[in-house]
Amino acid sequence: MAGRDSLIAELEHAIQCGSTDQCAQTIRRVTELFTDRSPQLNEQHIELFDEVILRLADEIEVKARAELARRLALVENAPAKTIGRLALDDEISVAGPVLVRSGRLSEEQLLEIVRTKSQAHLLAVSNRAQVTEVVTDILVDRGDSSVLFNVASNAGANFSESGFAALVEKAGTDDALANRVGERPDIPRPLFRMLVLQASDMVQRRLISIAAPDMRGEIQKILTKVSHEINPDAPAPHNFVAAQRMMRMLSDAGQLNEDHLHGLAKSRRYEETVAALSLLSSVPLDTVDWLMNGDRIEPFLILFKALGFEWMTVRVVLMIRPSGRKLSAKEVEEVCSDFNRLSYSTARRVIRHWQGREGMKTAS
């Protein structure tokens, strides 16, 4: 009892007579005492610390409050009222550690925070190890693009069907978010189909590649039907099965090389060109097709530099890219310059990543 009275007397003196620095030193000592003994403390002891720390916390500056939050965030039985006060702090350096890591926050407290606090607070909550459906509903409704991307990337976040639907709707104009949402194993199948239908061409190819095998054909049929309803003259989707079979035969016979690829591209045989590039580079066919259809030319150049091909081969293949508009003479000259400046060693490092991309498997 004497120890308790002594501690209270010291704290009263710090609050009533001490400077801000003295309060910070005292709260640091009290916090150290609490964290050292927390496994042995009962609820009555914790309530005493809670009362003491709360009284001191109002007297210390942001830096000291942030230090307090970092130290208490991982303590399993941290003082609940103090944790709640820190979580509501307007300074994210104070609230952030608690919002991300503390298990002492109730769902009601988290709901109050995501309904009323800043985007930085929402971003911290989206990083929690577990996030319930009612909380993610509000994160999706109020969150900016960073919050949406984070919570969609969080395997411990749970979504209601309406929350998923809102997330899919917002992903319609955000390719990075669409990829993250599509990668979630818990997305309802109808919403996954909707996500694919509204996505950009590049994202569609990525999402189809990670879809369950029994869904790929169904999604492709839907996409083809929609495409022809919008544009009856649109070309049919590429089918690489026959092209791959032919290129494998040439490869097995030792006849598949840069010269043969140049001839395929010159004849504008897109499927055979892509299949040949896939075999020559050991990069999955889906990845090569993605590179050929991308808006940027740089990844396309990396592939050819890593193969050690000549500029004339690059140029003729460049002309048959489905997504590529016709380049002016000056633009072709600039692309050639970029290709020549690119180092072989850099290109090889990048292509090793493409050769091992998960989810991109060469079609059989």
pLDDT tens digits along 167-188: 999 998 888 999 999 999 999 9
pLDDT of residue 5: 54
From 98, 128, 159, give the residue that closes a domain.
Answer: 98
57, 85 in Cβ contact below 8 A? Answer: yes
> Residue 323: what residue type?
S
Does a structural domain hold residue 260? yes
Phi, then psi, of 302 in degrees rounded to 5: -60, -40
CA-to-CA distance for 278 and 301, rounded, in angstroms? 15
Sign of the dihedral through C-alpha 85, 89, 92, 93 = negative
* Cβ-based burial of 120 (10 A; exposed 0-12, middle 13-18, buried ≥19): middle
Does a structural domain hold residue 197? no
DSSP codes of every residue in 224-238: HHHHHHH-TTPPPPP
Does a structural domain hold residue 267? yes
Does a structural domain hold residue 39? yes
Q: Which residue has the tokens 């639907």?
A: 165
Question: Which among 22, 21, 23, 18 is positioned nearest to 56, based on CA atoms?
Answer: 23
- Token pair, residue 261, equals 């690829």
Specify the number of domains making up the chain. Answer: 2
Does a structural domain hold residue 174? no
From 98, 123, 141, give the residue that closes a domain.
Answer: 98
Does a structural domain hold residue 141? no
Does a structural domain hold residue 142? no
* 3-class secondary structure, 269: coil
CA-to-CA distance for 336 and 339, rounded, in angstroms? 5
pLDDT of residue 12: 57
Digitized pLDDT (tens) for each residue of the chain, 364 residues in all: 444 555 455 545 545 545 556 777 877 877 777 877 777 777 888 888 888 888 888 778 899 899 999 999 988 889 999 999 999 999 999 999 999 999 999 999 999 999 999 999 999 999 999 999 999 999 999 999 999 999 999 999 999 999 999 999 999 888 899 999 999 999 998 888 888 888 877 787 778 777 777 777 767 666 665 554 444 454 555 678 888 898 998 888 888 999 999 999 998 888 999 999 999 999 888 888 888 877 678 888 889 999 999 999 999 998 888 755 567 888 888 889 989 988 888 888 888 877 764 433 333 2
pLDDT of residue 361: 36
From 98, 119, 134, give the residue that closes a domain.
Answer: 98
The domain of 28 spans 1-98
pLDDT of residue 3: 47
Find the radius of gyration of the CA atoms of the chain.
29
pLDDT of residue 115: 97
Does a structural domain hold residue 166? no
